[in-house]
A and B are shown apart, each in its own frame.
Chain A
Amino acid sequence: KQEVTQIPAALSVPEGENLVLNCSFTDSAIYNLQWFRQDPGKGLTSLLLIQSSQREQTSGRLNASLDKSSGRSTLYIAASQPGDSATYLCAVNRDSGGSNYKLTFGKGTLLTVNP
C-alpha cells in the first residue's frame, strides 16, 4: 500500500527566504507525482506535475524534483512571498499508467510566509 509523507507538517519563514518542502513515498512504482496548493477552505490548485521519467519541473519561482528510486520529491520555492502562504500537498499517481488517475496524498505542509 502506497504511503506518502510530507515533512515538515508546518513551516514559518520570513518573506524573501528560499525554502524546501519534502515528500516521500513508499512504493517507487509511480506513474507521476503532482504538487498542489490548497488555500483555507478551498479546492486544490495544481502547481507542478512530474512524470516518473523526469527529474524536475519548473514554473516561475517553483521547482520540483523527483528521485523515483529513493521515493523522494522536493518542492523548492524561491524568494517566498506572503501570498505563498497555503498548504502544499504532494500526491502520487499509483496507477501503472493507464487512463485512471488515482492519487495518494500526503497530509501536507502548512506554509506561512511572514511579511
Chain B
Amino acid sequence: SQTIHQWPATLVQPVGSPLSLECTVEGTSNPNLYWYRQAAGRGLQLLFYSIGIDQISSEVPQNLSASRPQDRQFILSSKKLLLSDSGFYLCAWNGQVMGQTEAFFGQGTRLTVV
C-alpha cells in the first residue's frame, strides 16, 4: 500500500534561518506531489506541485521554494525564514483508488518562526 512520510513533525526556527522539510512517498512511482500550507485562520493553500523529477510549479509568490531530486521525494525549502512562514505544512500526492483519483496527505509539519 502507498504511504506518505513527512518530517519533522514540529519545528521552531528563528527568523532568518534556513528551512528544509522533507516528504517521501512509498508504494507508488511517478506520483504527482504537492505542498500545502495551513496558516492560522486561513484555509489550506496550495504552494507547489510537481509532476516529475525537477518539474516544479509554484502556485503563489512567496519566500519558499520546492525541489524534487528523486521520483518520490519532495522538499520544501527557504533560505531565510520570515515570521509569516509560520504554519502547518502538508505534503500530498494523488493516486488512484478504485478507479478514482484521490488526494492523500501526510501528517504535516508544524513550523513556528520566532
Is A34's CB under 8 angstroms from B43's CB?
no
Minimum CB distance partner of A50 in chain B: B100
Is B105's CB under 8 angstroms from A4's CB?
no
Within 8 A of A (CB), among B13-54: 32, 34, 36, 41-46, 49, 51
In the bound assembly, the distance between CA atoms of A41 and B109 in angstroms comes to 9
Question: Among the listed A4, A49, A103, which residue makes an inter-chain contact with B100, where contact means beta carbons less than 8 Å apart?
Answer: A49
Could you tell me the distance in whole angstroms from the C-beta of B35 to the nearest C-beta in chain A? 12
Q: Mark A36-68, 1 if CB is under 8 A from B, else 0.
A: 100001111110010100000000000000000
Is A51's CB under 8 angstroms from B100's CB?
yes
Is B43's CB under 8 angstroms from A103's CB?
no
Could you tell me the distance in whole angstroms from the C-beta of B41 to the nearest C-beta in chain A? 8
In the bound assembly, the distance between CA atoms of A91 and B103 in angstroms comes to 10
Known: A34-B103, A102-B59, A105-B44. 20 other contacts (CB 8 A): A32-B101, A34-B102, A41-B110, A43-B6, A44-B90, A44-B105, A45-B105, A49-B100, A49-B102, A91-B103, A93-B103, A100-B49, A102-B34, A102-B49, A103-B36, A103-B46, A105-B36, A106-B43, A107-B41, A108-B43
- Residue ranges of A at the interface with B (Cβ–Cβ < 8 Å): 4, 32, 34, 36, 41-46, 49, 51, 89, 91, 93, 99-108
